[in-house]
Homo-oligomer: A and B are copies of this chain.
Amino acid sequence: MQHDFFLSITFAQMSTSKKIKSLQELGEFGLIDRISKKIKSYQESTILGPSDDAGIVAHEKNTLVSSDLLIEGIHFDMTYTPLKHLGYKSVVVNLSDIYAMNAKPKQITVSLGFSSKYTLEAIDELYDGILLACKKYNVDIIGGDISSSPFGLIISVTALGENDENNIVKRSGAKENDLIVVSGDLGGAYLGLTILQREKEVWKSDPNMQPELDDFNYILQRQLKPEAREDVIQYLEKNKIMPTSMIDISDGLASEILHLCKQSEVGCQLYEEKIPIDQQTYNTAMDFNLNPSTCALNGGEDYELLFTINQKDFELVSKNTALSIIGHITKKESGYNLIGHGDTSIPITAQGWSHL
């Protein structure tokens, strides 16, 4: 398991003291020029990047389209979110949606709105993270919009992906007796957020003290710099495993398994003891007097893949240590159940994130 972290976190109020060149001085067109010069192209299917009224792509197969909106004060807190991580994450969460259709992301558009507290240096950092994610996942920026905002930062990303219609996996194809599989481990992103929120409270009472976060590297990375599971999609392709249904875990396992089951018109049985939880996630949950399974079920933002497979693919899936079989699909009438420690059966209900 990777426990590295490419930037250290400093708690701080946004400051304008490091202003190198003002955004007002540069202007909208100057900023667009500055960003455009940094944009590279990795995809043959990109015909025209961000220089015209619209970008142009030439996909030979079907095109997948997914959009997400990230808003300061709702989806992220600038007190502890490094801008480079935020830029990276804003791309990754969209790519995750494309992988969740069993497709490959190819292009994105990026629209930004930011208030006057954001310096040119801050926008550069944010864009460095965006460009790093593009390089890592081989996706091209082909358009977007830049605007000021009266309050904070707004990031809107749309991702385009590509695959044959026959190979696209929807939420709706799960069948009775299929196995339920999840990638990686769950609950970490939520506990990373819990740590950051606790330390923010400590820091607010004494702004001269910076928090000690070294013991929480893994879960902080899960929260601040998640990755999309390109490797899982590649493994499935290489081993000719076609999931019967798939979704990515942005709102928590409970919420997502209910989406899969409802759209597939089936029920499910999950086994609590099979849900993959990292040791650091587990220990941190215990420190906060939280049930680790509840964090995994309702925490959200893990960006792992949840999918169902036919039983014939059991062995191939079992071989991959990044994948856990956590239950199976049942008849719709059996409902949605979690078998707990000691064989208790509890109905699964969705908490998800409640941004409204």
With a cutoff of 8 Å between Cβ atoms, the chain B residues found around residue A110 in the complex are 67
Q: How many residues of A contact B (CB 8 A)?
A: 74
Note all chain B residues with C-beta closer than 8 A to A275: none
**A177 to B172 CA separation, bound complex (whole angstroms):** 57
Q: CB distance B64 to A55 under 8 Å?
A: yes
* Bound Cα distance A201, B111 (Å): 32
Write out the residue numbers on chain B whose beta carbons fall within 8 Å of the beta carbon of A23: 356
- A66 at the B interface (CB under 8 A): yes
* Closest residue on chain B to residue A64 by CB atoms: B54
Given A149-B74, A165-B47, also A113-B154 (CB < 8 A): yes
Q: Is A241 an interface residue when CB atoms closer than 8 A count as contact? A: no
How far apart sit A171 and B168, CA to CA, in the bound complex (Å)? Answer: 35
Q: Is A248 an interface residue (CB 8 A)?
A: yes
**Which of B101, B151, B263 sits near A151, CB closer than 8 Å?**
B151
A268 located at the interface, meaning its Cβ lies under 8 Å from any Cβ of chain B in the complex: no
- Is residue A332 within 8 Å, beta carbon to beta carbon, of the partner chain? no
Q: Which of A24-32, A285-293, A339-347 contacts B (4 or more CB under 8 A)?
A: A24-32
Judged by a CB distance under 8 angstroms, whether A56 is at the interface is yes
| Interface segment out of the listed A140-148, A209-217, A309-317 | A140-148
Docked pose: A24 CA to B72 CA in angstroms: 20
Given A24-B356, A48-B170, A58-B165: A143 in contact with B66 (beta carbons within 8 A): yes
- B53 in contact with A247 (CB, 8 Å): yes
Contact with B along A58-92 (1 / 0, CB 8 A): 11001111111101111100000000000000000
Q: Does A338 have its Cβ within 8 Å of any Cβ on chain B?
A: no
- Distance in angstroms from A263 CB to nearest chain B CB is 7
Residues of B within 8 A of A3 (CB): none
A154:B154 contact, CB within 8 angstroms: yes
- Among candidates B47, B54, B97, residue contacting A54 with C-beta atoms closer than 8 Å: B97
**Once the chains are docked, how many angstroms separate the CA of A109 from the CA of B148?**
22
* A143 and B28 contact, Cβ closer than 8 Å, known pairs A54-B103, A113-B74: no
Contact B168 A56 (CB under 8 A): yes
A62 near B51: Cβ-Cβ < 8 Å: no
Residues of B within 8 A of A63 (CB): 56-59, 63, 160
Interface contact B356-A150, CB-CB below 8 Å? no
Q: Does A107 contact B (CB under 8 A)?
A: yes
Known: A151-B151, A356-B148. A54 touches B62 (CB 8 A): no
Q: List 19 A-B contacts (CB under 8 A).
A: A28-B356, A52-B171, A52-B172, A53-B97, A53-B248, A54-B66, A56-B101, A59-B59, A65-B109, A67-B111, A67-B158, A69-B112, A71-B113, A72-B150, A113-B154, A148-B356, A150-B152, A151-B151, A158-B158
